[in-house]
């Protein structure tokens, strides 16, 4: 069968793909030259500050901005007016703007807003106390769970598990600089969606979408929280138009943590059953969760092992006043992993089976990728020295510091999103790929350059990649691990077509047909005959004055990418049973993601995911105050992120080669961040011989678990 016109090169033919490259924007970032939206200063620009609600649930009674407006140069823009109901603390009511940030802050403090305070709910861990805020969703049932739980020789494990609400805590706060020129709006936005948000601005500002341009040269973290223009974005643009000046409005750190996105909690009472040989037979769960005023649906449980034959699941969505949920890296998967993999780990312990053996035995329940999980579990066991270090529940060695190992597995889709790109080959030999994508820190520019350089037989610095501008061809939002699959495949198709045109232009001068040509090592040559060749520059000069301009697209002909990855992770922890402190000794991540373009930045995604995973497993939590309804830790002193000394040894292994590469490009951002919660929780249980039911696994919870039945 002939190869499809668009394809990735075979393993032996790859010059760049899969090797280790530094990110192309690394020097700009590490020298402070990279500009972010937060860094944009425009002539005459005002600084905006949001005045938000101090109450979690209230109605606005009055707004008095007179004192604020007495300050020099202060302007006010109302977002929500008298009578409107507020559903979370920090929700933006108005914006003040002033020529300096200092005066803007003063003005914000002088605004007086009165409220009628309404009852709020900010805690949901105890379902019995949520009252009518809890809305049960329909029961889901498959097989005959009652019969399975009652079958003879069945071992049943029952427990309570859960995962806290966390925030995104992007280091670059949400926000933008807006500037009008005539009827045209320019927005420097910290966004994951350069091509998508101009339409939102256009609609809100009632101007044609062609009048809106969004620029995001670099952005300081999104993790799922920066897909939309946001009300503070569109209102900032309105305000800008009203005052005829550019306005910079970035959320303050407290606002960033209070209102700019929360990952829903998920709690569940879980019953699981297995035959004595370890074959899982039944699942029953009673789950509940909140994602703020909208509540939250059931997470995907049982997670990964979806093929458990007999299941019954009930879920309650709890509407709270904690602030709105936003997609958080691998939405609902880390929580589902905690509920599922921890429950199954407890079942394995009850069966007196090692979890590696147990998950290997049940890998078939993952669907058609059981063999992959078995390979990944084996590799993770090897890299974590599982055979040497693992022991049955409870570290029996003397001393108060107990060591344990835990494992988890995960899955994600990661198919490439819709993307177009402009490919230009200029007569002087310069090459540009331009598209309305964005780099969230994953290395988007780098993998586009690799895909283009591979096609053209050039090197990465030969390719100019332009992204972060909505004037370029539209490319999907960067979320759900869809970017690499979208932009690289569009680039491969576009550069392949552009190269065909170049071949057609130079073929006569090489005395060959276009089909006989190839682009290798900076030359265009007759296949297999390097004596008949032109340098890339010479070849491009044959274009005369006319550059080649081609548009590439994804989706398109031929499969250059696919979907569906797996991974296995092992956590190795030490737990101090006197202080309750958990220390990470080592984390092992084994991950597949199809064809890897840049091994270095791919590994970085996994390292970063492990570190984010350690953070949500041990440290971070959106702590809400029952009395006031406010977040108690909207700052970085008490909203705790792991530091450089908290992460232990990190080992990353990417599955590559036959069976993986031919799947084409698949995204990687989400999957490795899913397993740390379950793996670390299981490791702690292995160390102390008792389950800490919910993450984050803080010292108080560890001590409570030890007191309740662990090894003291």
Partner 1 sequence: MSRKRDRKPASNAAVSRRDFLKGAGVAVSGGLIAGEHAAAAPPDAKTPILGPGAVPVTLRINGKPQKLNIEPRVTLLDALRNYLDITGAKKVCDRATCGACTVILDGKPVYACNVLAIEAQGKDIQTIEGLATGGKLHPVSAAFVEHDAQQCGFCTPGFVMAVKAFLDRHPTPSMEDVEKGLGGNLCRCGTYAGIRHAALDAAKALKGGKAHA
> Among residues 635, 659, 707, 709, which is the contact residue for partner 1, using CB under 8 A?
635
- Cβ 259 to partner 1 shortest distance, Å: 17
Of the pair 520, 581, the CB lying nearest partner 1 is at 581
Binding mask 410-449 for partner 1 (x = CB under 8 A): ------------------------------xxx-------
- Cβ 188 to partner 1 shortest distance, Å: 12
CA torsion sign for 580, 585, 589, 590 is negative
Q: Does 585 bind partner 1 (CB under 8 A)?
A: no
Candidate segments 95-103, 113-121, 394-402, 680-688, binder of partner 1 by CB under 8 A: 95-103
- Residue 601 and residue 447 in contact, taking contact as beta carbons nearer than 8 Å: yes
Candidate segments 219-227, 239-247, 394-402, 491-499, binder of partner 1 by CB under 8 A: 219-227
Of the pair 104, 539, the CB lying nearest partner 1 is at 104
With tokens 């499809």, the residue in question is 4
Of the pair 563, 604, the CB lying nearest partner 1 is at 604
What is the C-alpha radius of gyration for the chain, rounded to an integer number of angstroms? 28
Q: Does 601 bind partner 1 (CB under 8 A)?
A: yes
Q: What is the DSSP string of 418-431?
A: -EEEEEEE-TTS-E
Of the pair 29, 532, the CB lying nearest partner 1 is at 29
β-partners of residue 502 are none
> Among residues 91, 172, 230, 346, which is the contact residue for partner 1, using CB under 8 A?
172
Candidate segments 35-43, 302-310, 382-390, 418-426, binder of partner 1 by CB under 8 A: 35-43
Q: Does 101 bind partner 1 (CB under 8 A)?
A: yes
Residues 565-584, interacting with partner 1 (CB under 8 A):
579, 581, 583-584
Q: Does 383 bind partner 1 (CB under 8 A)?
A: no
> Among residues 218, 455, 466, 686, which is the contact residue for partner 1, using CB under 8 A?
218
Q: Does 179 bind partner 1 (CB under 8 A)?
A: no
Q: Does 650 bind partner 1 (CB under 8 A)?
A: yes
- Cβ 185 to partner 1 shortest distance, Å: 23
**Could you tell me the two tokens for 378?**
């084996």
- Residue 594 and residue 657 in contact, taking contact as beta carbons nearer than 8 Å: no
How far is Cα 613 from Cα 609, in angstroms, rounded to an integer?
6
Q: Does 169 bind partner 1 (CB under 8 A)?
A: yes
Q: Enter the DSSP assignment of 139.
A: P
Nearest partner of 216 among 489, 470, 543, 32, judged by Cα: 470
Residues 6+ apart with CB under 8 A from 239: 48, 75, 77, 95, 97, 178, 247, 249
Quote the Cα angle for 570-571-573, to 5°. 155
Peptide bond into 557 cis (omega under 30): no
Q: Does 623 bind partner 1 (CB under 8 A)?
A: no
Q: What are the backbone dihedrals phi and psi of residue 177, each rounded to the nearest 5 degrees, phi first?
A: -115, 130
The site that binds partner 1 (CB under 8 A) totals a number of residues, namely 64
Q: Does 607 bind partner 1 (CB under 8 A)?
A: yes
b/e map of 90-127 (b: 16 or more CB within 10 Å)?
Answer: bbbbbbbbbbeeebbebbbebbebebeeeebbbbbbee
> Among residues 7, 11, 39, 309, which is the contact residue for partner 1, using CB under 8 A?
39
Residues 6+ apart with CB under 8 A from 529: none
- Between helices 483-506 and 444-456, what is the axis angle to 10°? 30
- Cβ 250 to partner 1 shortest distance, Å: 8
Q: Does 221 bind partner 1 (CB under 8 A)?
A: yes
Please return the burial class of 397, using the count of CB atoms within 10 Å of its CB with bins 0-12, 13-18 and 19+.
exposed
Residues 6+ apart with CB under 8 A from 590: 376, 377, 379, 380, 383, 567, 568, 569, 653, 655
SS3 for 610?
helix
Please return the burial class of 657, using the count of CB atoms within 10 Å of its CB with bins 0-12, 13-18 and 19+.
exposed
Q: Alpha carbon of 28 to those of 48, 149, 217, 453: distances in Å?
A: 28, 60, 11, 21
> What count of other Cβ atoms lies within 10 Å of the Cβ of residue 2?
4
Q: Does 177 bind partner 1 (CB under 8 A)?
A: no
- Cβ 355 to partner 1 shortest distance, Å: 25
Q: Does 619 bind partner 1 (CB under 8 A)?
A: yes
Q: Does 364 bind partner 1 (CB under 8 A)?
A: no
Q: Does 478 bind partner 1 (CB under 8 A)?
A: no
With tokens 């495949």, the residue in question is 489
Of the pair 427, 608, the CB lying nearest partner 1 is at 608
Of the pair 329, 691, the CB lying nearest partner 1 is at 329
Binding mask 278-317 for partner 1 (x = CB under 8 A): ----------------------------------------
> Among residues 33, 142, 184, 513, which is the contact residue for partner 1, using CB under 8 A?
33
Of the pair 273, 602, the CB lying nearest partner 1 is at 602
Residues 233-252, interacting with partner 1 (CB under 8 A):
252
> Among residues 11, 34, 207, 520, which is the contact residue for partner 1, using CB under 8 A?
34
How far is Cα 186 from Cα 329, in angstroms, rounded to an integer?
29
Q: Does 44 bind partner 1 (CB under 8 A)?
A: no
Of the pair 91, 603, the CB lying nearest partner 1 is at 603
Q: Does 611 bind partner 1 (CB under 8 A)?
A: yes
Q: Does 637 bind partner 1 (CB under 8 A)?
A: yes
> Among residues 88, 149, 161, 223, which is the contact residue for partner 1, using CB under 8 A?
223
Q: Does 1 bind partner 1 (CB under 8 A)?
A: no
Peptide bond into 696 cis (omega under 30): yes
- Cβ 582 to partner 1 shortest distance, Å: 8
The sheet that has 112-117: what strands, in order across it? 85-86, 58-64, 112-117
Q: Does 389 bind partner 1 (CB under 8 A)?
A: no
Candidate segments 171-179, 311-319, 370-378, 536-544, binder of partner 1 by CB under 8 A: 171-179
With tokens 């031919």, the residue in question is 662
Nearest partner of 238 among 111, 94, 105, judged by Cα: 94
With tokens 């995973």, the residue in question is 613
Please return the burial class of 652, using the count of CB atoms within 10 Å of its CB with bins 0-12, 13-18 and 19+.
buried
Binding mask 122-161 for partner 1 (x = CB under 8 A): ----------------------------------------
Candidate segments 36-44, 56-64, 261-269, 295-303, binder of partner 1 by CB under 8 A: 36-44
* Residues at the site binding partner 1, with contacts judged by CB under 8 A: 22-23, 25-27, 29-36, 38-39, 41, 47, 100-102, 169-173, 218-221, 223, 252-253, 440-442, 579, 581, 583-584, 600-601, 603-604, 607-612, 615, 618-619, 635-637, 640-647, 650
């Amino acid at each position: 069968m002939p190869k499809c016109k668009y394809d990735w090169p075979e393993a032996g033919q790859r010059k760049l793909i899969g090797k280790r490259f530094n990110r192309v924007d690394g020097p700009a970032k590490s020298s402070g030259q990279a500009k972010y939206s937060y860094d944009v200063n425009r002539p005459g620009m005002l600084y905006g500050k949001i005045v938000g609600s101090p109450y979690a649930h209230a109605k606005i009674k009055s707004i008095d901005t007179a004192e604020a407006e007495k300050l020099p140069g202060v302007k006010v823009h109302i977002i929500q007016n008298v009578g409107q109901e507020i559903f979370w603390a920090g929700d933006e009511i108005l914006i003040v703007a002033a020529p300096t940030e200092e005066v803007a802050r003063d003005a914000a403090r002088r605004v007086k807003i009165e409220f009628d305070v309404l009852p709020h709910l900010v805690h949901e861990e105890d379902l019995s106390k949520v009252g009518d805020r809890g809305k049960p969703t329909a029961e889901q049932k498959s097989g005959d769970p009652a019969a399975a739980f009652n079958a003879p020789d069945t071992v049943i494990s029952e427990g309570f598990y859960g995962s806290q609400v966390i925030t995104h805590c992007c280091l670059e706060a949400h926000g933008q600089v807006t500037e009008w020129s005539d009827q045209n709006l320019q927005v420097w936005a910290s966004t994951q969606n350069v091509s998508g948000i101009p339409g939102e601005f256009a609609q809100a500002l009632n101007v044609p979408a062609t009048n809106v341009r969004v620029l995001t040269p670099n952005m300081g973290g999104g993790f799922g929280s920066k897909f939309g223009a946001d009300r503070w974005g569109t209102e900032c643009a309105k305000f800008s138009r009203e005052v005829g000046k550019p306005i910079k409005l970035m959320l303050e750190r407290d606002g960033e943590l209070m209102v700019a996105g929360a990952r829903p909690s998920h709690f569940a009472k879980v019953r699981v059953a297995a035959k004595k040989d370890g074959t899982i037979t039944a699942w029953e769960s009673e789950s509940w969760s909140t994602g703020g005023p909208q509540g939250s649906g059931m997470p995907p449980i049982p997670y990964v092992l979806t093929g458990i034959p007999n299941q019954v699941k009930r879920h309650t969505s709890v509407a709270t006043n904690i602030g709105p949920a936003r997609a958080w890296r691998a939405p609902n998967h880390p929580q589902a992993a905690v509920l599922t993999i921890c429950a199954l780990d407890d079942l394995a312990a009850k069966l007196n089976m090692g979890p590696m053996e147990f998950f290997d035995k049940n890998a078939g329940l993952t669907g058609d990728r059981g063999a992959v999980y078995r390979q990944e579990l084996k590799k993770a066991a090897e890299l974590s020295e599982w055979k040497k270090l693992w022991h049955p529940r409870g570290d029996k060695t003397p001393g108060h510091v107990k060591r344990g190992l835990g494992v988890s597995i995960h899955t994600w889709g990661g198919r490439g999103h819709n993307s177009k790109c402009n490919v230009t080959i200029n007569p002087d030999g310069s090459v540009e790929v331009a598209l309305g994508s964005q780099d969230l820190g994953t290395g988007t520019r780098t993998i586009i350059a690799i895909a283009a350089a591979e096609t053209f037989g050039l090197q990465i610095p030969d390719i100019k990649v332009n992204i972060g501008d909505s004037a370029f061809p539209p490319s999907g939002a960067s979320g759900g691990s869809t970017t690499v699959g979208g932009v690289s495949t569009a680039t491969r198709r576009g550069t392949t077509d552009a190269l065909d045109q170049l071949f057609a232009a130079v073929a006569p001068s090489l005395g060959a047909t276009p089909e006989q040509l190839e682009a290798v090592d900076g030359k265009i040559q007759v296949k297999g005959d390097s004596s008949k060749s032109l340098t890339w520059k010479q070849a491009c000069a044959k274009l005369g004055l006319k550059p080649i301009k081609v548009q590439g697209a994804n989706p398109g002909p031929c499969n250059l990418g696919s979907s569906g990855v797996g991974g296995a992770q092992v956590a190795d922890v030490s737990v101090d049973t006197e202080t309750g402190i958990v220390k990470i000794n080592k984390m092992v991540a084994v991950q597949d993601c199809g064809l890897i373009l840049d091994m270095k930045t791919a590994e970085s995604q996994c390292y970063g995911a492990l570190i984010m995973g350690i953070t949500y497993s041990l440290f971070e939590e959106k702590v809400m105050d029952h009395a006031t309804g406010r977040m108690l830790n909207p700052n970085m002193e008490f909203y705790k992120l792991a530091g450089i000394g908290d992460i232990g040894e990190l080992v990353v292994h990417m599955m590559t080669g036959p069976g993986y590469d031919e799947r084409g490009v698949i995204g990687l951002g989400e999957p490795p961040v899913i397993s740390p919660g379950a793996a670390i929780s299981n490791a702690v249980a292995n160390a102390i011989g008792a389950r800490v039911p919910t993450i984050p696994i803080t010292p108080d919870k560890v001590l409570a678990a030890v007191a309740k039945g662990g090894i003291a």
